């Protein structure tokens, strides 16, 4: 039966362990001088060799022919432990056996002397998963252990282990394995497996492993379907975009060409590229460029090595403010990608924000936008990106001056009357009936201004700031629903932020525990005082009355004026 490479090539001696000399040399010295402790705690990230060293140590303390601190792997004890046939060496997974009953059974069994080997060894993996009663039960035997018992605890989260347990163990910290060490080990394994692994491909697998030797072997195993493993094969098998496509995407983003950037994302998506890997490569490229911009002298030792120097120099025109904003937005989108129902949509939204920093609405985006405009003005380029579809601002024509208003006529006086003649009183003159003036439409009385009820304080002030702050913490769909100003209105009244929501579905989403906590935290941080969140159905009372009164006023009833 086929065995995975990370299991097949698990280290058998301390000398086979890669990248942990500070741990292996110390343990070998203790074995040679017979100064073995009763309890060890191995701490480190995944795939750094904690469990492998624990099994090697279990073999070494029981080996019948120790070789300079390494087990011989030939005696019956070593062979039996490797095969799992010796019951005196037991490996427990604390993630599934974390109850107090399991630890009590282990404690009751530990008092008996081993049947076959010299020491009874208990390897407890992921020990931080034990419950508090289980830790209390384990503490007693760690405090007064029998001479024939050895405990080896392994964990990735040492801060979750009680200090009382930490103080009774010798603690060894396992470091992340360097990329050069991982690449060398991969070359050795590939040679023994009759695989042709190119140096560039080995370096790429080492970078993708992120310090985990086990992950690197698993990636090599995934690419071992072909006899020759090169960089294009690794990119195709692991769904990577590649340096050229990533650089082209960043070029479109730097030019503000939203259309070209989205088309490239769409092409990579349907080519089978992983969206998380795409954002990770983009973040790595932006990080290296930013290091070259802010620390050009010492950046060579800090670069990730995934991109050539010529590719990095291609983007020297991007200002550090813009690069910093790109890196923060990309890493935030990468963090939220696991919670998004549509990964492609989340990446597209991130790309849109990267192309147009002003759409983010925060201070960092504004500073990045100003730096971008200043740079383009210095280069003599227009303020709008070459690929952007946004029109240039047009200068409005001047408004002509109004004609002067003529002076009002002087008031009418008696001097303006004609001279008086008495005969005119004897025979009344025939007065023609006055011509009726044309009847004009009676002008409508001006509509009274709508009566606006006094709403709670801070309408439109605190709520947009809260939305801007929780944008990175909420799911994209939830944030989109809360940002709809036609359905959702937030007002601050005293120490309570009232959120009025018309739509029932949106209200159910907002009442979720995570969403409510995020809104409360953001509102409290912005207001500077504790703020309580209260979600209401419908619209505020003042807003509802205003909308009804406006409808009646617009409709009208002839000469009736609504006041």
Q: How far apart are CA 305 and CA 288, in angstroms?
A: 9
Provide the whole-model pTM. 0.58
Q: How far apart are CA 32 and CA 426, in angstroms?
A: 152
**Start-to-end C-alpha separation, the chain:** 89
Per-residue pLDDT of the chain (563 residues; tens, 9 = 90+): 788 898 989 999 999 999 999 999 999 999 999 899 999 999 999 999 999 999 999 999 999 989 999 999 999 999 999 888 888 898 888 888 778 888 888 888 888 888 888 999 999 999 999 888 889 888 888 888 888 999 999 999 989 999 999 999 999 999 999 889 999 999 999 999 988 999 888 988 988 888 899 999 999 998 888 888 888 888 888 877 778 888 899 999 998 899 999 999 999 898 888 898 899 989 989 998 888 888 877 666 777 777 777 888 888 888 888 899 999 999 999 988 888 889 999 999 999 999 887 776 555 555 666 666 666 666 665 544 444 444 444 444 555 555 555 555 555 455 554 554 444 444 444 555 555 555 444 455 555 444 333 344 454 477 888 888 888 778 777 787 788 777 788 888 778 888 888 777 777 778 887 888 888 888 888 888 888 888 888 776 555 444 444 444 444 444 555 44
Domains belonging to the chain, first-starting first, are 5-174 (3.40.50.300), 179-238 (1.10.8.60), 243-379 (1.20.272.10), 462-540 (3.30.300.180)
The runs of H, that is alpha helices, within 316-425 are: 320-336, 343-355, 363-379
Find the length of the chain: 563
pLDDT at 545: 42
Burial of 488 (0-12, 13-18, 19+ CB in 10 A): buried
pLDDT at 446: 52
**Measured CA distances, 111 to 88, 92, 107, 115, 441 (Å):** 12, 17, 7, 12, 110
pLDDT at 250: 92
pLDDT at 459: 43
Which residues are bridge partners to 498 per DSSP?
Answer: 491, 534
Residue 489 DSSP SS3:
strand
pLDDT at 550: 47
**Measured CA distances, 278 to 125, 264, 282, 342 (Å):** 34, 11, 6, 15
339 φ/ψ sector (left φ>0, alpha ψ -120 to 50, else beta): alpha
Taking a C-beta distance cutoff of 8 angstroms, is the pair 336, 476 a contact?
yes
Q: To which residue do tokens 């953001």 refer? A: 522
Q: To which residue do tokens 């601050």 refer? A: 492
Contacts of 99-104 with CB under 8 Å at 24 or more apart are: 99/131, 99/133, 99/134, 100/131, 100/133, 100/134, 100/136, 100/137, 102/134, 103/130, 103/134, 103/137, 103/138, 104/137
pLDDT at 449: 44
Burial state string for 152-180 with b = 16 or more CB within 10 A and e = fewer than 16: bbbbbebeebeeebeebbeebebebbebe
DSSP 560: B
Q: How far apart are CA 453 and CA 458, in angstroms?
A: 14
pLDDT at 557: 46
Q: To which residue do tokens 């384990």 refer? A: 138
pLDDT at 546: 45
CA 427 to centroid of chain Cα atoms: 103
pLDDT at 371: 65
């Amino acid at each position: 039966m086929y065995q995975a490479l990370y299991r097949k090539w698990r280290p058998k001696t301390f000398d086979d362990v890669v990248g942990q000399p500070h741990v292996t040399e110390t343990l070998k010295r203790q074995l040679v001088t017979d100064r073995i402790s009763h309890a060890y705690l191995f701490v480190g990230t995944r795939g750094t060799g904690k469990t492998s060293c624990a099994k090697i140590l279990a073999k070494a303390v029981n080996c019948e022919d120790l070789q300079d601190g390494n087990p011989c792997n030939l005696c019956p004890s070593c062979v039996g432990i490797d095969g799992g046939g010796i019951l005196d060496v037991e490996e427990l997974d604390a993630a599934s056996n974390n109850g107090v009953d399991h630890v009590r059974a282990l404690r009751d069994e530990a008092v008996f002397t081993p049947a076959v080997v010299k020491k009874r060894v208990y390897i407890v993996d992921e020990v931080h998963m034990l419950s508090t009663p289980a830790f209390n039960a384990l503490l007693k035997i760690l405090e007064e252990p029998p001479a024939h018992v050895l405990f080896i605890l392994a964990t990735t989260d040492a801060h979750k282990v009680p200090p009382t347990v930490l103080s009774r163990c010798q603690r060894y910290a396992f470091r992340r394995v360097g990329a050069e060490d991982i690449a060398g080990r991969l070359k050795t394994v590939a040679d023994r497996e009759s695989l042709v692994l190119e140096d560039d491909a080995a370096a790429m697998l080492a970078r993708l492993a992120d310090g985990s030797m086990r992950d690197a072997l698993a990636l090599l195993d995934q690419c071992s379907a072909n006899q020759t493993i090169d960089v294009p094969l690794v990119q195709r098998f692991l769904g990577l975009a590649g340096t050229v496509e990533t650089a082209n995407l960043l070029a479109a983003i730097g030019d503000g060409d939203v259309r070209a950037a989205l088309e490239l994302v769409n092409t990579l998506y349907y080519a089978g590229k992983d969206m998380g890997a795409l954002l990770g490569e983009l973040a790595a490229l932006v990080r290296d460029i930013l290091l070259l911009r802010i620390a050009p002298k010492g950046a060579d030792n800090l670069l990730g090595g995934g991109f050539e120097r010529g590719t990095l120099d291609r983007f020297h025109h991007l200002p550090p403010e813009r690069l910093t904003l790109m890196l923060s937005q990309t890493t935030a989108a990468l963090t939220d990608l696991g919670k998004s129902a549509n990964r492609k949509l989340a990446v597209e939204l991130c790309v849109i924000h990267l192309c147009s920093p002003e759409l983010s609405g925060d201070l960092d985006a504004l500073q990045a936008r100003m730096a971008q405009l200043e740079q383009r003005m210095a280069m003599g380029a227009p303020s709008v990106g070459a690929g952007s579809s946004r029109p240039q601002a047009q200068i409005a024509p001047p408004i002509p001056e109004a004609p002067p208003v003529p002076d009002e006529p002087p008031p009418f006086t008696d001097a303006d009357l004609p001279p008086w003649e008495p005969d005119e009183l004897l025979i009344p003159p025939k007065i023609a009936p006055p011509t009726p003036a044309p009847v004009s439409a009676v002008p409508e009385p001006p509509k009274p201004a709508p009566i606006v009820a006094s709403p709670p304080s801070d309408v439109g002030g605190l709520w947009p700031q809260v939305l801007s702050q929780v944008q990175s913490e909420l799911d994209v769909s939830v944030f989109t629903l809360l940002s709809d100003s036609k359905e959702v209105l937030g007002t601050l009244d005293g120490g309570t932020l009232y959120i009025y929501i018309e739509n029932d579905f949106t209200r159910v989403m907002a009442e979720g525990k995570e969403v409510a906590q995020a809104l409360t935290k953001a509102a409290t941080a912005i207001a500077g005082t504790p703020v309580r969140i209260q979600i209401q159905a419908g619209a505020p009372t003042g807003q509802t009355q205003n909308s009804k009164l406006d409808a009646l006023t617009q409709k009208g009833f002839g000469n009736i004026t609504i006041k």
